[in-house]
Amino acid sequence: MGIKRIGIVANIEKEQSAEYTIVLRDWLLDRGLKVYLEKHIARKVGAPDGMDRRHLASEVDLIVVFGGDGTILRLAHFIRGIEIPIVGINMGGFGYLTEVNLSEMCSAIERILTGNFEMEKRMMLDVSIKGQETEIEEQAVLNDVVIGRGNLSRMVELEAFVNGAFLTTFKADGIIVSTPTGSTAYSLSAGGPIVFPKMACMVLSPLCPHMLTNRPIILPAGVIVTVKLLTKEPGVTVILDGQISYDLKTGDTVTIARSPYVTNLISSPLRDYWEILRTKLGWGRLPEGPTNIKPC
């Protein structure tokens, strides 16, 4: 079955997000396709019948996202369990997940509409938090789980276990447990490796560890990582995909395991992963800027 119904989600705080939403909507309508807008961008462009994200995802064959990586991370959280293809149009800065530039928006989507694209099933993690005073229902992340010192002025102490076996006690600013997708986010800044996004694994990266021998570890995708907070002072937090934050108390545990759900991201049909990686990291040449943008 071909792509006939397209949903548009946009970060309304991005400059010109409304303008480009209208451009794409009209371009798609001219081709006889049905277009549905998420409620926030619908309100901004003055369109009726905007939809919430889960309803939108259940009604369409493809979602186009205008924004940066944060916009896709928020969308992935809200539509967990609905395996709808997503293509990101980069209106942010770095944008590893938003692979299509504004200047090539319509040419890329035209190829996607003809079936000329590759879809990647990106691994997600399920996270649960338990303690004497805290019990958070399972949440899903696409990028990472960060357990950090928050507003605490000293290092935190964390016990880490893999499949119930003791790994080590980290004395550090915190730790990051990331997916391959998240390996190019905060984990990379902490000295973690770049992991090919189609792989299935977890990366555990300590943040500014007291012991110089504490190094990032790549773990099999099927393990269960449990982290217990030993620090007695308040202020330690766990942050999911940089979007949702919870306070931790002494003795609380954070359990992280591979999720049965995935996020379906469409790769740019105009360039391969290696070119995107070179461009984003500035390997061998400067990143291209959004000059003389003519999206359609």
Catalytic residues: 69
Coil, strand or helix at 207 = strand
Distance CA 84, CA 6 (A): 11
Whether the Cβ atoms of residue 3 and residue 62 lie closer than 8 Å to each other: yes
Q: How would you classify the pairing of strands 34-37 and 5-10?
A: parallel
DSSP 8-class letter at 252: -
By C-alpha distance, which of 138, 159, 139, 157 is closest to 149?
157
- Tokens representing 218? 């790549």
DSSP 8-class letter at 39: H
Residue 52, C-beta contacts closer than 8 angstroms, at least 6 positions apart: 38, 39
Distance CA 278, CA 269 (A): 16
Quickly list DSSP for 108-164.
Answer: HHHHHHTT---EEEEEEEEEEEE-SS-EEEEEEESSEEEEE-TT-SS-EEEEEEETT
* Strands lying side by side in the sheet with 237-240: 217-220, 201-207, 174-178, 144-148, 237-240, 244-247
By C-alpha distance, which of 156, 146, 213, 147 is closest to 182?
146
- Tokens representing 51? 């939809």
Burial 114-127 (b: 16+ CB within 10 A, else e): eeebeebebbbbbb
